[in-house]
Amino acid sequence: MVAPSLTLVTDADAVRRVALPLPRVYEREIGGHWKLKVKQLVFVAFAKDETKMGFAFPREERDALIESAPDVFFLPRTSDLRYQWVCAHLDRLGEEEMSELITDAWRMCVPAMLHDLPELPAPAAEVWSLIDAGATTDAVPLLHPYLHWHDRDVALRGRNNVLAHLREHPAPKPPREVEVRDGQIYRWVR
């Protein structure tokens, strides 16, 4: 008897579910291909039929990745070999590995201060993204009414006080730690 596989295969929609909630990410269609971007940098690009994807990956490590699973990973076309890029067959890639690869590809395109956001409990990354985009009113349902906010020398209590502060000051850097209660950020520490 063969044990069922615990690794689920992935598809383009699963990649989007991982990538789109990451801070500063958006999707655009360019030349019939859907691409996931941070500012002008592409970190994931799908084939037109969305069965394959290319993604940002350190050039010096890509040969080892391809050798580790040549049925899954492959080199980009010759004209793209100069880029830090590798490709994968989506239906041969496990969900967990895909998630790690996509998050690491995103990290190659964003400032180091954002790298730890995906490791924080939800909804920390989403809240920071909204604040970063200036959409503080959209963050209200994700902030606890008794929010404790500590950002360097600023210590505030209460969601309304924090929102008033954010309207007057530039977006803060991401938190180092958060506490979540009832699905809302209760404590934000930078």
Q: Any idea where the domains of the chain sit in the sequence?
A: 12-110, 117-189
Sign for the pseudo-dihedral over CA of 93, 118, 22, 65: negative
The reply to whether 117-189 shares the fold of 12-110 is no
In tens digits, what is the pLDDT along the chain, a chain of 190 residues?
A: 444 445 677 999 999 999 999 999 999 999 999 999 999 999 999 999 999 999 999 999 999 999 999 999 999 999 999 999 999 999 999 999 999 999 999 999 999 999 999 999 999 999 999 999 889 999 999 999 999 999 988 999 999 999 999 988 877 889 999 999 999 999 999 9
Rounded CA-CA distance 100/36 in Å is: 16
| Protein fold of 12-110 | Aspartate Aminotransferase, domain 1 (3.90.1150)
Residue with tokens 């190659």: 108
* Architecture of the domain delimited by 117-189: Roll (3.10)
Q: Find out whether 175 and 190 touch, Cβ atoms under 8 Å.
A: yes
Residue with tokens 């970063």: 132
